[in-house]
Chains A and B, each alone.
Chain A
Amino acid sequence: MFARIVRHDWRNLAAERTVPWLAFVVAAIVGYGVWNGASWTSRQEDEAQAARSAYEKRIAELRAELRKPPVENPDPFAPDPRAPRTLGFVRQDAFLPPGPLAAFSVGQGDLLPAKVSVNVATGRRLLTRNYEVQNPLNLLAGRFDLAFAVVYLLPLLILALSYDLVSGERDQGTLGLLLSQPIGLSEFVRGKVVARLLLVLGLGGGLSLAGVPVAGLDLASAGTWARLGLWVLAVLLYAAFWFGLAVLVSALGRSSATNAVLLVSAWLGLVVVLPSLLGLAVAARYPVPSRALLVHAMREAANDADRRSAELLEKYFQDHPELTAGGKPDLSDFYTRYLTAEQDIERRVAPVLDRYDAALVEQQRMVSRLRFLSPAIAMQEALNDIAGTGLVRHSRFLGQAWWFAESTKAFFLPRIFGRATLTEADYDALPQFRFVEESPGDVLRRVVPGIGWILLATLAVAWVGLARLRRYPVAAS
């Protein structure tokens, strides 16, 4: 019986002239979204590639110089390929590769810098200074990507399909007739919902899969498949939630028009108003201290380091005997003074930097708690995490980039201070950056509470809705 209802309703839907149009609009939205995401991703990749080749070209030039025999009177201004400081000051860019599904959800990817330029003088305070030069108006407007289509537009499509689930039949006068058959209203509604869910997911899911080749995903990796599976699951649950809500509203027994207004208000509240309201709350609860404060702390530390430079030098080498293992440092050397001063500034600025990081961590924790107030927030967070364009993956990148900066310093500082001469073996051993991707398990642990909650909310609204259907006023009042 259930299958029959689904089939019948499906035929009804298919007979409507709007369905081909709907399919066309959904295809256009999904196509445009994936295309945008994919161009953004390939732009990121090209940039990383260009920076990588520039770095390698520079190192190859220096290596070629190194292989030439030393000259009698070298040009004092030409870079010496044997001096550790020459290589130490060459910038190597650590790039965060676009997330495995970045083409589906740009997320914070266009805002948070995906590049950290590292050399021997890179301190933590300089880690995040590499902005992309994008028009801020476009950042404000946000991206038209698949995640936007899912979070904002999919609910509207569902609401348009299901605001008159029951009231439509009543308005047509077919409801009484229907219920004179051996079938319950709840079973009937479930059949209609399943038919519509199939239509929505058929359109959305089929087209998203068609978008996979457009998005240029790395299908050889198992991680990508795991993420794709999670993505589809999340979209399914989110769609189910909105259908559940439609059932609940339908069960109230109001007219189709009232249902539509109620559902659109719910959408407006959950998707548009609540997130920006909570955004205010989060920023007010855990305000990030003024960045001007950081500037001032940096300035004072730098001034002070400059003033006490001699004293600092001595103290620094007392504290770090390992840095001068090769030989005695030349305390009058500009680079030696500069680099020790840098270390001191870093040490003094660190507590200030910690306050920013801590505030941001607290904010993100609060968002993780608040996502339970709106499925749209839970969904956006989950999609960013699945796509690999969220805050957590970015912090992970900064952590790894910082570790890379530390190993660069650990490589060069002893050689600079110990006045070592570089050989080809040193060139081969230069620190390299490679981003270690999160495991699917990590992603799963973050995503499951969010989409698990969407599932619970779906079950709750659907259960209450179906229960209330028993008392549905079949004859219009």
Chain B
Amino acid sequence: MVLRIARKELVEMARDGRFRAAAAIVGALLLMALATGLAQQRARADEVATAERLDRQVWDGQGPKNPHSAAHYGVYAFKPAPPLSFADRGLSAYVGETVWLEAHWQNLASHRPAEDRTALQRFGELTAATVLQLLLPLVVILLAFSAFSGEREAGTLRQLASLGVPGRALASGKALGVAGALALILVPATALGALALVSAAPGSWVATLGRAAVMAAGYLVYLAAFIGLSIAVSALLPSSRLALVALLGFWILNGLVVPRLVADLSERLHPVPTATAMWAAMREDMTNGIDGHNPADVRSQELERETLAEYGVTKVEDLPVSFAGISLQAGEEYANQVFDKHYRALWDAYARQDRTHLAACVFAPLLAMRSLSMGLAGTDFGQHRHFVTAAEEYRRGLQRFLNGEMTRKAKGLDFGYRADPAFWATAPRFDYEPPSLASVLGQQASAASLLALWAISASVFAGWAASRLRVA
């Protein structure tokens, strides 16, 4: 029975010129978004590979140089474009793409692509994700708003009721019909997406398959929530017109109003310091100590005393090693504590803000979908943080390596010492391993469950609305 209803609905929709037009437009946009997304992703992957190679060449070919000069020269870490970023660019445009790993300082990632764009960017980027999150729900609404109210107005609902078709069966059939119509867009789109995935990550697409599958499932759940909601509203409201107005109103809130409303709200609830204040606080902690009672000059005197005691000598000149190297490394270790304190505070504030966004998904399921989608694509802040933390770990290791060389070899020369030209190639390399699917799923567990909750509540709502259907 349900299948028969679904088939009838599907045939009706597929023959409807309005659906065909909408499907053609959305399909074309999706295609365009996938193509440009893929081109961007490929270009970025090539860029990163070239930049990493060139940067390493430059590093290895520094020639005779003091290790600390090299530390200041530093290296660069280039953020890779995750394979699935062709489908969802997430925050990519708004976080930096390169991190300068230099001595004494943990830098923010710089070069945010959005700064190299015009204000058009702020209308929103056209990606497969925006089409799926914003435009497809609109197609769902257009397909389903008159599901019951249309029949009621045409007088066919009374006939159906007289045939003894239960409301719930009717609702399930209609929902399946809408899903079938959506499949006409989604199945080819998924096939294209799969092709894009293979060409986005020629070597490692199998590894990305898991992420892609969860992402696709997420979108199905999201669209299911919209189908359920539209059917419920159509059954509940007296006229198609009212149902359309209510659903369009919800769509606008979901896609445009609530996300912005929450952005400002989250900043009010969980304020972050200004950049100027944050850097000033860091410098203050370095000069006067994290607890405010351990100033830098006292720290360096203590270090000198401890080092002399350790080597059993009384003067710095008698040390068998370079005190400059030891002192530099001690400075790094202390600064690292300061960076950890302030960056952690900042990023934790972001995380609290992100949770505010997620909490607002009570009003706008898009917020849960967006979080899940960019998480799986690898373009959310969690994975940006993972990358910059890995880069920072590498920076600390590199500083230790360079200061170690200084300590061991620069005795008596300190900053006048020149390391051997072959030395640079022995420095550790930065190999970034993105987080596993399991850890991403752990981070996105609440987004995923909220999304599922939406879909479940929407279908329960639809079932309830259909069971107390008024035929006239």
Contacts and interface: CB of A to CB of B under 8 A. Distances in A.
Interface of A: 32, 36, 39, 43, 46-47, 50-51, 54, 93, 107-108, 111-113, 115, 128-144, 148, 152-153, 156, 256-257, 260-261, 264, 268, 272-273, 275-280, 282-284, 288, 290-296, 299-300, 302-303, 306-307, 356, 359-360, 363-364, 367, 376-377, 380-381, 384, 390-391
B71 interface: no
Determine which residue in B118, B121, B353 has the highest number of CB atoms from chain A within 10 A of its CB, and name it.
B118
A268 B25 CA distance: 12
A139 B94 contact: yes
B120 A131 contact: no
Given A136-B381, A140-B94, A280 B277 contact: no
B29 A273 contact: yes
Nearest to B110: A129
Contacts of B353: 135, 137-138
Given A264-B248, A276-B125, A295 B51 contact: yes
The interface centre, meaning the residue of A108, A131, A133 with most chain B CB atoms within 10 A of its CB, is A133
A138 B263 contact: yes
A130 B277 CA distance: 12
B138 A284 contact: no
A43 B65 CA distance: 45
A183 B257 CA distance: 42
A187 B129 CA distance: 47
A381 B119 CA distance: 8
| 8 A-B pairs closest in CB distance | A292-B51, A275-B123, A136-B94, A141-B263, A291-B111, A288-B116, A276-B126, A279-B120
A275 B134 CA distance: 14
Q: Which interface residue of B95, B115, B264, B350 has the most chain A CB atoms within 10 A?
A: B264
Interface of B: 29, 32, 36, 43, 47-48, 50-51, 54-55, 58, 61-63, 65, 69, 73, 76, 78, 90-91, 93-98, 108, 110-126, 130, 134-135, 138, 240-241, 244-245, 248, 252, 256-257, 259-264, 266-268, 272-278, 280, 346, 349-350, 353-354, 357, 381, 384
Contacts of B93: 140
A346 B139 CA distance: 53
22 contacts: A43-B274, A50-B277, A107-B119, A133-B346, A135-B266, A135-B381, A142-B260, A143-B264, A144-B257, A144-B260, A144-B261, A272-B124, A275-B120, A276-B120, A277-B29, A277-B32, A291-B111, A296-B58, A299-B76, A306-B69, A367-B120, A390-B119
B23 to A, nearest CB: 14
Contact of A277 (B95, B126, B274): B126
Given A135-B381, A141-B259, A292-B78, A54 B125 contact: no
A363 B117 contact: yes
Given A111-B112, A135-B272, 18 more contacts: A47-B274, A50-B277, A107-B119, A108-B119, A132-B275, A133-B273, A135-B354, A137-B350, A273-B126, A276-B120, A279-B124, A280-B32, A292-B97, A303-B62, A306-B69, A306-B73, A367-B120, A390-B119
Given A47-B274, A139-B114, A282-B118, A156 B252 contact: yes
B119 A367 contact: yes
B276 A257 contact: no
A58 B334 CA distance: 25
B120 A278 contact: yes
Contacts of B51: 290, 292-293, 295-296
Contacts of A275: 120, 123-124
Contact of B274 (A132, A138, A156, A294): A132
Given A128-B115, A152-B256, A260-B244, A137 B381 contact: yes
A279 B350 contact: no
A292 B126 contact: no
Given A50-B277, A257-B241, A280-B36, A112 B120 contact: no
B263 A142 contact: yes
Contacts of A268: 138
A356 B272 contact: no
Contacts of B43: 290
A140 B91 contact: yes
A276 B124 contact: yes
B119 A280 contact: no
A376 B62 CA distance: 53
B272 A257 contact: no
B55 to A, nearest CB: 7
A303 B58 contact: yes
A138 B267 contact: yes
A134 B346 CA distance: 9
A364 B116 CA distance: 10
Given A138-B266, A144-B263, A282-B120, A47 B94 contact: no
Contacts of A261: 244
